Structure 1
Amino acid sequence: MSDTIYLYINIGLYSFVGLTIGFLLEKFVLKRIKLFAKKTTWKFDDVIFNSLGGLVVLWFLILGFSIGVQAHVVQTELRIITHKITASVLILSLAVFAIRLFVNLIKVTAEDTSGRAPSNSIILNIIRIVILLIGAMLILQVFGVSIAPILTALGVGGLAVALALQETLSNLFAGIQIIASKKIRTGDYIKLSSGEEGHVVDITWRNTIIKAIQNNLIIIPNTKISTSIVTNYFFPELEMSFAVEVGVSYDSDLDIVEKITLETATRILQTVEGGAKEFTPFTRYHTFSDSSINFAVILRAQEFGNQFLIKHEFIKALHKSYIKNNIEIPFPIRTVIMKNNKSGENNK
């Protein structure tokens, strides 16, 4: 009994030393390396060191425990069991490190490409599942379990599962195709031909989640997204042009109207938040309507959501400019000419 207690104490001491060394390395050495990595322009060193968080302590704990077992455990069978356990924990920790590494790499790459850091849970979840499955198979190999029969069973059962989950798999592969095409990304503002519109919050294994302007979530199956006509207001660039319809009286001097309108539009784009300051607005007359000559003023916003404030401020400013310069914005007028029907009167 005393030998067993002595054995546990020695293994515990080795484990404690390993734990202490790992803690000191992570607290002081790794922390300084992280601070140095943040100062470099290369982002992938940040990814690597951030993915190591907490694992260095675990690895040194495993190392101390293994050394203690090798130094004090005599029984071969007990050594083999502890070796398998420590190897399994090590494989699991390496799987966690690989998941963190790949997930962070995807986020950094996406941020460098689009200027945003989107999180497509479908891709991240697939990465997690694949790495965990590889880790689980390696652990089974450590314990001497053959994975060949398991793979065979999965292959046969996979066909039945695929038939049973046909709709789910359709949404899964549609989601992968949406992400791979890079035409729709998280953060983009899109509008479907069926009328749903909003910012893409996430693309999951089954649905694409859109946040509408009203702050509601719209959940759409991936297959519907992949087969719909979709307008992406953030692709190929964020800036977008839009038109404001205006009508003036037939008595107006159209050259003066155009000049005042463009001066007002230019001022608004320069002063209102979200206006494309380098864009030159322009007008196009297009219709002789019943009571006015109508034209469109083309403005440009830095992104889809900015157009509403720009329109708001432009209409107010243009109204003031027209009043100041005696330019009439006519009310709808319709002239009705009544003619006497003499034949009708004679019949009476």
Structure 2
Amino acid sequence: MEFDLASQPEIVQQAVDYALQAWDLAKSWALSPAAWSQFALLIVAYLLAVVAARRLRGFLTRVLTPAPEADSYLAQGRRAALLTLPLLLPLLAYLFTAIGESVVRSVFDSGAVIAFGKRVFLFLAVRTLVREIIKDPFLNLLGRYVLIPVAALYAVGLLDPLIGKLNELTISLGNISFTVMSLVRGVIAGGVLFWLGGWSNRQTTQFIENQKDMRPSLRQLTAKVLEFTIFGIAFLLLLNIMGINLSALAVIGGAIGVGLGFGLQKIASNFISGVILLIEGQATVGDFVELDGGESGQIVKMTARAAILETFDGRWIVVPNEDFITTRVVNYSDSGSANRYEAPFSVSYDTDINLVPGIIEAAVSTHPDVLDTPFPPDCELRGFGDSGIDFAVEFWVNGIDDGANKYTSDVLFLIWNALKDHDIEIPYPQRVVELKGSLPQVQG
């Protein structure tokens, strides 16, 4: 079968050439006894795989299914293994076909048909893996648009020629050169490596956060060090996979160093300040701090560049780490240490003031959040005012008197009720007015 395609574009000529090769291959398979025997072995291998997969699925389901309440690492691993059961059929078919291929090649010295069938079963296994097992959005996207097409090209025998073509194309950037295949391999490997880096970083961060014996600042520092280490290793592995000589990055590294020295001084300063804060533990997540400029809030997150404060009215304040080192910062340590507050009040001049301290201290002590250590409630006489005698009760609590906690308000309620129960008058403002001379006469 010949066609005159001289006037057609080159791509059309190549397509027709490939089609003719496929047609000749199909005719040779159809007329060859060896090919028919390989087709028969493929069918037998598939039927055996169906029977074996059906029996193994039931057995493995019984063995791998953990108790519903089990939550150990072993139980989680068994549940993950259960998800891979759909792979049984294509993988068993691939295995039986591989055995049949070795038999056919020893008898006929040819196995193209059964080798093609083996690659098809591998493609079906890859498609099952992507469609039914991989649930992560990024990995599923990578599987649908990279893994499945690669498996399809491998199944039809076009993967090796395509790789050869891509290896012939070279891209040069200054003194760095790499092939298009290296770039494609780097994109795929980079996506997988950085996904693995993110996953391992989340796992290690969760593990570190569960170590309650470590100081919060030390946990934060350890998590950050591991994060930079994991992604640094991923970056170096990516460069190695792409075939880029690390020594070729010396010029780029020098340029980055100059940039850090001139344009990124503040970023470098804030990063180093953040490391110092995490090491010394002067301020960490959970602490309530007040800055030199008057801003105050609870530290809810510490990044490489800044700390994020959340005020009690819901605002977020981003504070550079350098400010915690170079300016005055008041740390109320809302994460555990006690703070002292006071509630002022007054009583009438008719009151026996010797009774007031004991009454008020006993009342304030009934508050569930008021502490006995470092000091119990202490009622002090503060002065003699215009309208009454001024007192104040000092008390210690864990936390800040704001937001969800209203300690001073609660204590004032206790003071009011205690004074009322003991008939002690809380004075109103009083003024004495002296009139000189006689009152004017009112004439009716």
After TM superposition, is the score higher than 0.5? yes
Match of 1:283 in 2: 378
Counterpart-to-counterpart distance in 2, 1:311 and 1:219? 29
Per mean C-alpha deviation after superposition, the further-off stretch among 219-228 and 132-141 is 132-141
Deviations 1:239-286 (A, max 9, x none): 43322223334543344212321232133x13xxxx247768422425
Question: Which residue matches 1:168?
Answer: 267
- Give the aligned residue type for 2:399: E
**Contact 1:17/1:64 (<8 A) preserved:** no
Counterpart of 1:214? 313
* 1:297 corresponds to 2:393: yes
- Aligned residues of 2:363 and 2:418 also touching (Cα < 8 A): yes
CA deviation after TM superposition for structure 1 residue 128, in Å: 6.0
The one of 412, 417, 423 aligned to 1:315: 412
Q: Match of 2:423? A: 326
Unaligned runs of 5+ in 2: 1-17, 26-114, 168-179, 435-444
Out of 105, 112, 132, which is 2:204 matched to?
Answer: 105
Pairs within 5 Å for 1:130-141: 131-132=230-231, 134-141=233-240
Aligned to 1:45: none
Is the partner of 2:312 in helix, strand or coil?
coil
Give the aligned residue type for 1:316: F
Structure 2 match to 1:144: 243
Deviation at 1:96? 1.8
Q: Which amino acid in structure 2 is aligned with residue 246 of structure 1? A: F
Please provide the CA RMSD for this pair. 4.9
Structure 1 residue 134: Cα displacement? 4.0
Q: Secondary structure at the match of 2:293?
A: coil
Equivalent residue letter for 2:382 = T
Task: Give how far 1:26 is off.
Answer: 5.7
* Cα distance between partner residues in 1 of 2:245 and 2:258: 22
Which stretch shows the higher mean deviation, 55-64 or 249-258? 55-64
Distance 1:295 1:212, change over 3 A: same
**Which ranges of structure 1 fall in alignment gaps of 5 or more residues?**
28-51, 338-348
Q: Which amino acid aligns with 1:314?
A: V
| Superposition deviation, residue 318 in structure 1 | 1.6
Q: CA deviation at 1:86?
A: 5.4
Distance 1:15 1:147, change over 3 A: farther
Rg larger for? 2
> Does residue 1:78 correspond to 2:164, yes or no?
yes
Does the Cα contact within 8 Å between 2:299 and 2:307 map onto a contact in 1?
A: yes
CA distance in 2 between counterparts of 1:19 and 1:202 reads 42
Q: Percent identity?
A: 18
Query: Is contact 1:190–1:199 with CA below 8 Å preserved after alignment?
Result: yes
Matches of 2:351 and 2:279, distance apart in 1: 54
- The answer to whether the Cα contact below 8 Å between 2:260 and 2:268 also exists between their aligned partners in 1 is no
The TM-score, its normalising length taken from structure 1, stands at 0.66
Aligned length: 308
Secondary structure at the counterpart of residue 113 of structure 1: coil
Residues 17/307 of structure 1: CA separation in 2 closer, same or farther (3 Å cut) = closer
CA drift of 1:306 comes to: 6.6
With over 3 angstroms needed to count, the CA separation of the structure-2 counterparts of 1:144 and 1:108, relative to structure 1, is closer
